[in-house]
Structure formats: structure tokens, C-alpha cells
Amino acid sequence: APATLKLALCQVLVGEDKKANIAAAKKAVDEASKKGAELIVLPEIWNGPYDTSCFPVYAETVPGKGASVSDSATEPSTSFLLSAAKENKVYLIGGSISEKGQDGKIYNTCIIVNPEGEIIGKHRKVHLFDIDVPGKMTFKESDTLSPGNTTTTFDAPFGKVGVGICYDIRFPELSMLMRREGASILIFPGAFNMTTGPAHWELLQRARAVDNQCYVAAASPARNPEASYQAWGHSTVVSPWGKVVATTDHNPSTVYAEIDLSEVEKMRENIPTSKQKRNDMYSLQGF
């Protein structure tokens, strides 16, 4: 497997016009590909406002793993992701959009598309963002969204990649499961806010990177001053040593990082925590 990988996190500005949001995402992906990125990531809820009342309005049906065709009339966001990955010959982690499930429920969903334009992974956000910080921040995704219940990893020539969405990063167990499945990179499209962002956004990425001795990257939307939900931005890439190797501020931009995957093996050999676990005292259980 190639030891290095060029990664791009597209911190796009998201507004209320879905067509304009898709156009902005397309422009960012095309540009990242031209600059040599092989793995490109979009942010959480990039096709409409991050707002519980908007999720059902902007929701689309999303095909499952193995699909390579999508109806551009009813599934414009997925249709774009499939064609963008294929045209640019890249692996594309499609941030997330609100999905209209066949069960009638709404999910916060990320699809992963390979360079042939085929869906090779589909992650529905497992942990819903329901918080209440008195006087600062109240948000309840569960007002309109339902949780997924699967761990998501996919294979690529550069290694195995795990995908979670935003609030999923706060739960070390999910990252540990992805690490156990062999992931050497964990990717989190996310949209932290002005309360949790400054305090925990970078801290959580560094924590998960050190816990699991892998690269961690999180892609945020740019901050839109007109939006009801103010995203923190600061899309970031962290090394297995816990070092921030690339980041940005809150404005629209693309973060690039050359990832050296030999660093993952080196870290796991030098500090072999995975071989030193006390399974007689505790264990990680996946279902």
C-alpha cells in the first residue's frame, strides 16, 4: 500500500439554497482534485442549514452500499457526489446530508464514494447531538433525526478508513471499534458551534488520535454569519502523535495534508498499547 496520501478537507460555506450549496461543494472538490488530493472530505450537513426544522425539508433518499446510480431529480446531493468522485477519480467522503429513510425516518448520513463512482460505505450518525448548556447552547437533533446503528469503515489502496459524524467523536468506544477493524485514519465531518468548538473540537481530535494511534481529520462547514447555527470551522488534521498537522480558521477554505501512513505503524510499535491491554480486567464489546 502507498505510504503517503494527500488529504483535502473542504470547508465550504453553506446557505439556504441547495443548488448553490451543491455548486459550492462541486467547485471545492474539483479544485482539491486538481491540487492532487486523493481523499477528499466534505463537512457535516453541507447541502442546507444545520437546523432541526430544516433537516426534513432538505432530506433526500440516499442509496445504499454498492449503488453507482442516483436520480439527479430526487437525489441531487448523492448524484453530485457519485459523479464528482468518478470525474475526479478520487475517494470522496461526502460529509453528511439529511436522509429520508425507507422507514420514513430522517437520518444524518454520510456516503463514501470510490473513484469508480460507487458507494462503498454509508454511515448514519450514531450519536445524536442533544445538548443543553444553560445560557449558551441548546440543540436537539432527536427532535427530527433518528440514530444509525453501525460502525463504518472502508478499504482503499492507502489503508482502512473509519468514518463518524460530529458528535460521534465524543464517544471513544466508536473510534476504538473502528481502530479494532483496522482503521489507520478516522474521518469526522462535523459542525461544532461557538460554545463547544473553542473548548473541545481540537481536543477531541487529538484525544482520538492518541487513543487509537492513528490520523484523525474533521471537516467543518465555514461560519455563515447569517445562519441560526454558527459553525466553529477550523477543519483540522491530527497525526498519531497528537500533533496538529494542518488547520484553518472559520472562513471558506480547503485544508490539505500529506499523510504519512508509516507514522501509524511507527507509533503503534513504539508505544504498543494495543498489545498491552488488560483483557482480563476490561473489554470492548461491539454488536
Specify the DSSP class assigned to residue 223.
Answer: P
Q: Which residues pair with 152 in a beta bridge?
A: 163
Q: Which of 166, 202, 214, 263 is catalytic?
A: 166
* CA–CA separation, 189 and 221 (whole Å): 9
Three-state SS at 25? helix
Contact by Cβ (8 Å): 76, 26? no
Q: Which of 10, 38, 44, 100 is catalytic?
A: 44
Q: Where are the beta strands (DSSP E) in the chain?
A: 4-11, 39-41, 91-93, 97-100, 106-113, 119-124, 130-133, 137-140, 152-156, 159-163, 183-189, 215-219, 236-238, 244-246, 253-260
Contact by Cβ (8 Å): 153, 161? yes
The Cα angle at residue 59 between residues 55 and 60, in degrees rounded to 5: 165
* CA–CA separation, 273 and 20 (whole Å): 47
Q: Which of 125, 141, 214, 263 is catalytic?
A: 125
Is 125 an annotated catalytic residue?
yes
* CA–CA separation, 281 and 287 (whole Å): 20
Rg (CA), the chain: 18
Is 54 an annotated catalytic residue?
no
Which residues are tagged catalytic? 44, 125, 166
